[in-house]
């Protein structure tokens, strides 16, 4: 059920969704990504808690339209039992600022920015989310 495009790769695991994002995104790319992730979430994570590992080290920011798609998607995912989100980026103040504008907050949801993917995996594993194949 892995999905690969020129802009992203989505790899589902038992209780973890791994996202790899590449290049700059406009609203059209963000909507396609949202549609693809929504299909996987509804099929695999409907009635259980799950985590997300978002690798954005090769991502080059979004247009304002894409940012709005992400804001709506984050709110929806949190209502669909997403409890932990680890976001991996390169050390960029601009990327940190854009991500902070897109992140949602909820009592049962924790998100954290990382510069090292292994640290992100460890944080998720401590919460019970691992890359165990389906």
pLDDT tens digits along 59-69:
887 888 888 88
pLDDT band at 107 (very low <50, low <70, confident <90, very high): low
Judge whether residue 41 has pLDDT over 90.
Answer: yes
Q: What is the pLDDT of residue 102?
A: 56
Q: Is residue 41 part of a domain?
A: yes
Q: Residue range 9-32: average pLDDT?
A: 96
- pTM of this structure: 0.88
Q: Residue range 16-20: average pLDDT?
A: 97
Q: What is the pLDDT of residue 33?
A: 94
Least confident of 8-12, 56-60, 75-79: 75-79
Helices (H), 11-116: 27-44, 64-79, 93-102
The domain containing residue 115 runs over which residues? Answer: 3-126
d(CA 49, CA 85): 12
Judge whether residue 80 has pLDDT over 80.
Answer: yes
Q: Is residue 28 part of a domain?
A: yes
Q: Is residue 68 part of a domain?
A: yes
> Mean pLDDT in the chain?
88
Judge whether residue 56 has pLDDT over 80.
Answer: yes
Q: Is residue 131 part of a domain?
A: no
Q: Is residue 132 part of a domain?
A: no
Q: Residue range 120-127: average pLDDT?
A: 98
**CATH number of 86's domain:** 3.40.50.10600
63 versus 134: which is more confidently predicted? 134
Q: How many domains does the chain have?
A: 1
Nearest to 84 by CA among 30, 116, 36, 125: 125
């Amino acid at each position: 059920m892995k999905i690969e495009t020129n802009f992203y790769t989505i790899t589902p695991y038992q209780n973890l969704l791994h996202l790899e994002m590449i290049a700059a995104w406009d609203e059209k790319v963000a909507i396609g990504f949202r549609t693809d992730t929504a299909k996987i979430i509804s099929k695999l994570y409907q009635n259980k808690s799950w985590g997300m590992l978002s690798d954005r080290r090769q991502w080059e920011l979004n247009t304002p339209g894409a940012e709005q798609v992400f804001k709506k998607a984050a709110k929806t995912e949190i209502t669909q039992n997403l409890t932990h989100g680890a976001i991996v980026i390169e050390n960029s103040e601009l990327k940190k600022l854009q991500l902070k504008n897109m992140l949602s907050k909820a009592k049962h949801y924790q998100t954290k920015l990382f510069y090292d993917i292994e640290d992100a995996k460890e944080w998720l594993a401590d919460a019970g989310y691992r890359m165990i194949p389906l």
